[in-house]
Structure 1
Amino acid sequence: MDYKKVSSASSALKKYISKTDNETAEKSQLFEDDGEFIYLVVTSKHYFSEFKNLKPQMATLKSGLYSKRSEPPAICIFTRDPQREYKDALLNGQTPITRCIGVSKLKGKFKPFEARRALRTDFDLFLAEKDIANMLPPLLGKSFYGKKAYVPINVKVRHSKNSEINSEAVNHRVTKILNQTPIIYPASRTMLVRVGTTKHSDKEISANVKAVMDVIKFDKIIEIGIRSNNSPTLPVYYADKIYSESDIGEHTDDEFETEGVKRKREESRLDELLAEVVDEEEIVAYNREQKQRRKRVKTASENETE
C-alpha cells in the first residue's frame, strides 16, 4: 500500500471535517477542541471472524490516540468487589485511572440502560480487571459491546487471585495502552480501527495506519480507507483482483448437474412415466420426432447466423 496516499487522504478528510457544521455533527468522545477520531476502514472478501470477538488485539501506534489532548484522558476501570480496595490502590495518583467501578455497582446503579449509556459518554477509555472480563458483556450490554470502540481492555491488577493490588504494574500497563489502539476482528466484512484524531498531522496518521496494517494478519483485504464519525470513507487502497480461481475452486457438489445431464435425466424419467400409459413403440417414435425437431431448429439457427 502507498502510504503517501494515506497522507493525502488525511489532509482531504480534515478539510472536509472543518467545513462540517459543528452544531449538527455528531461528536466523538473527544472534547471539541481536541478534534475528532479518525478511523481506518478495512474491507475484506470474507468475514474477519466466524464469531463476535470481544478480546481486542493491540497495535502500538507511532503517535498515541490521546497524545494531542489538552487534558489527560478520563479512564474508568471495572473491578471485582470490594470497590473501595481498588479505589484506595489505583486512584491515589500512582496511575492515570480516574474511576473504579465494582461488579456489584454495575449490577445495581448501572443496571438501567440509560445509566450505562451515560457512563459510556463520561470516559475516553475503559479497562477491566482480567479476572472479571467474562462477566462484563451481560452487565454492560449493547451500550459498550454494540460499539467496538467502547469494549473494555483487559488489565492484570494482581499477580495472583489473593495477592495485593499491584498499582505499579497497572500504571505500566495503562501507560502502554495509551500508546496503542485496539483491533477487534468482527463477524463481518468491514472493520474500523482508530488511528488518530484531526489534531494529528497527516504524517502521523500515515505512520499510525502503517503500524495497524503491520499487525492485521489477513490476506483477503480488498479495500482500505479512512473516515471520521460523520464523513464519507476516502479510499487509499484497492486490491487488483477481488476474486481469483483459488476463491472459486473446483465444483465438489456430488448432486450438481450440467444442463445436458439434467435434460437427459428428465427425458429418461419422462420415458418411464409414459411407459406406464403409452405403448413403447409410440414412445420411440415420439423421441425420434423430438430429436429431428431439435436438429431442424439448430440448422435454422445456424443458417440465420450465416
Structure 2
Amino acid sequence: MPPKKTKKTAGAAKKGKKVTGTVVNTDTKVQKGVSVKDGAVKKAVSELIKWKESQKPEKPQLFDDDEASLYMQLTSVKFFSKKQVLKPTAVAVPHPVHDLENEFKVCVFVKDGQIDAETLEKIEQENIPHLAKIISASELKGAYKSYEARRKLQKEYDLFLSDESLITALPKLLGKIFYSTSKLPLPIRLKIKENVFSVTTLANQVSKTIHSVHYVPPMGVNLTINLGSVRQPLDNIVDNVQALTQHFEKQPLKTIQLKLLESPGLPIYIAEHIFSEQDIGEEEKPAKDETPEVRLTKFEKGLVELALDEDQARSIVGRKEKKVKKLKRGKENQNGGDSKRRK
C-alpha cells in the first residue's frame, strides 16, 4: 500500500521547492522527507546580514575572509558515517559557491614525474579556466619548505586541488598553515585508463570541483558545510540549499540551520517527528538477582478475595513472599556448593 501524503506536505509544495515531498509512516512518528521553503532561506540570510552589520567592525571592511562565509548546519538522528572518513564528498550545486567574477585562481599539486615538459605545454595551450599553477611534490619539499613560503602560497590561491594519489602525503608537505583554514586541498583524479595522465580529465576535474561543495562525513550527528559568501544573490543561495537538502534526503535530519562564523544559527527546517518506534528501546528487563514475581495459587487468591480487610490480604501475600525468598536462598546456596565441588 503506497504511503499517504499528509495535507501539510501537499501545502508545502506550493510555497517552496519541494525536495523529497512526502511524509511517510506518520504512525511511527518519523519524517522521511525534508522540505525547505525558499522564503525561510531568504529570511534567514537577510537576518544574518543584519546581525553582522549590527556588530562593531574591527576592520574597515564589513566582511573579511571566513567571516563573510555562510554555513549550513545539519543535525541528524543518526551518525552521518559509521566509520572514520578522510576523503571529502563532493556535491554538485547549481551555482558556484566561489566568487568567479573576480580573479579566481586554482593551484594543483601533482606527483613527481606525473607531468613532463610536453604535457605542461599542452595544459598551457588548453587554457583551462581558473587554473593558475601546478606544483610537484619535490617543489613542496624544496621551494615551499619554509613556513613563510607556505603561508604566501596559501594566501595567493583561492582553491587547492591534488591528485588523489598524493593527498595522504600533503599534511606533512604543507603543514598546519593549510589544514587550519578552509583551503584544504581537495582530491581529484588526473589519470584515465592505463594510468595515463589526461589534460582533458584535468580540465573536467577543475570545472567539476569549482561547481561543487565538499564535506567530510563525520562520525557524529552534526555537520557543517560552507556555502560561500553570504553576499551571493539570494536566489543562488536558495538553489544551492535545495540541492544540498536533496542530497541528504535519506538522512533522518532533525534540524537545518544557516549561520555565519560567529553568529547564532537560524533554523530553516525542524523535523516534526524525530524518533520512530524502532528507535525507542524495549523496557529494561529485571536483573537476574531481583526477587521473582510472587504468584498466588487459586486457593491463595480466594483467601485474598475473602479477606475482610487490607491487613489480612497483606498477611497472606507476605507469607507467600517469605516462601519465595527462602526458596531463592536455598537455590543460591545449592549453586554455590556445586561450584565449590567443581573446583
- Tell me the secondary structure at the aligned position of residue 150 of structure 1: coil
Maintained 8 Å contact 1:60/1:180:
yes
Q: Which residue of 2 aligns with 1:13?
A: 48
Instruction: After TM superposition, give the deviation of residue 226 of structure 1 in Å.
Output: 0.7
Instruction: After TM superposition, give the deviation of residue 15 of structure 1 in Å.
Output: 1.6
Instruction: After TM superposition, give the deviation of residue 175 of structure 1 in Å.
Output: 1.9
Matched, 1:156 2:189: yes
**Which of 42, 55, 75 is the aligned partner of 1:43?**
75
**Which of 99, 105, 109 is the aligned partner of 2:139?**
105
Q: Any idea what the Cα deviations from partners look like across 1:14-58, whole Å, max 9, x if unmatched?
A: 2222333342698325xxxxx822111111123211333222222
Matched, 1:264 2:264: no
Q: Which moved more, 1:126-135 or 1:137-146?
A: 137-146
Q: 1:50 to 1:160 in 2, by over 3 A?
A: same
Q: 1:73 to 1:113 in 2, by over 3 A?
A: same
- Tell me the secondary structure at the aligned position of residue 200 of structure 2: helix
Q: Which moved more, 1:4-13 or 1:87-96?
A: 87-96
Identical residues among aligned pairs (%): 26
Distance in 2, Cα, partners of 1:220 & 1:57: 18
Counterpart AA for 1:192: T
**Which of 198, 208, 213 is the aligned partner of 1:181?**
213
Instruction: After TM superposition, give the deviation of residue 236 of structure 1 in Å.
Output: 0.9
Instruction: After TM superposition, give the deviation of residue 9 of structure 1 in Å.
Output: 0.6
Counting only pairs closer than 5 Å after superposition, residues 1-306 of structure 1 correspond to structure 2 as: 1-3=35-37, 4-23=39-58, 27-28=64-65, 36-66=68-98, 68-82=99-113, 85=117, 88=121, 90=123, 94-95=127-128, 96-110=130-144, 116=150, 119-140=153-174, 143-145=177-179, 149-159=182-192, 163=196, 165-250=197-282, 257-258=285-286, 262-264=289-291
Q: Any idea what the Cα deviations from partners look like across 1:209-252, whole Å, max 9, x if unmatched?
A: 0011112254221111011222221111111223332112436x
Q: Any idea what the Cα deviations from partners look like across 1:107-132, whole Å, max 9, x if unmatched?
A: 44555667655544443211111332
Distance in 2, Cα, partners of 1:93 & 1:228: 38
Q: What is the number of residues matched between the two proteins?
A: 258
Distance in 1, Cα, partners of 2:227 & 2:136: 30
- Tell me the secondary structure at the aligned position of residue 52 of structure 1: coil
Maintained 8 Å contact 1:94/1:167:
no
- Tell me the secondary structure at the aligned position of residue 241 of structure 1: coil
Distance in 2, Cα, partners of 1:40 & 1:26: 18
- Tell me the secondary structure at the aligned position of residue 103 of structure 2: coil
Counterpart AA for 1:27: D
Counterpart AA for 1:210: Q
- Tell me the secondary structure at the aligned position of residue 58 of structure 1: strand
TM-score, length of structure 1 as denominator length: 0.70
Q: What residue ranges of structure 2 are gaps of 5+ in the alignment?
A: 1-34, 293-317, 323-343
Distance in 2, Cα, partners of 1:234 & 1:23: 24
Distance in 2, Cα, partners of 1:52 & 1:21: 40
Q: 1:143 to 1:6 in 2, by over 3 A?
A: same
Q: What residue ranges of structure 1 are gaps of 5+ in the alignment?
A: 30-34, 266-286, 292-306
Q: 1:187 to 1:120 in 2, by over 3 A?
A: farther
Q: 1:240 to 1:113 in 2, by over 3 A?
A: farther
Distance in 1, Cα, partners of 2:282 & 2:148: 53
Distance in 1, Cα, partners of 2:148 & 2:274: 43
* RMSD, matched Cα: 3.4
Distance in 2, Cα, partners of 1:92 & 1:243: 57
Maintained 8 Å contact 2:192/2:201:
no
Distance in 2, Cα, partners of 1:172 & 1:42: 30
Q: 1:80 to 1:22 in 2, by over 3 A?
A: farther
Q: Any idea what the Cα deviations from partners look like across 1:164-205, whole Å, max 9, x if unmatched?
A: x43333223212322211132122221111223222122221
Q: Which residue of 2 aligns with 1:300?
A: none
Q: 1:91 to 1:193 in 2, by over 3 A?
A: farther
Distance in 1, Cα, partners of 2:176 & 2:273: 36
Q: 1:112 to 1:201 in 2, by over 3 A?
A: same
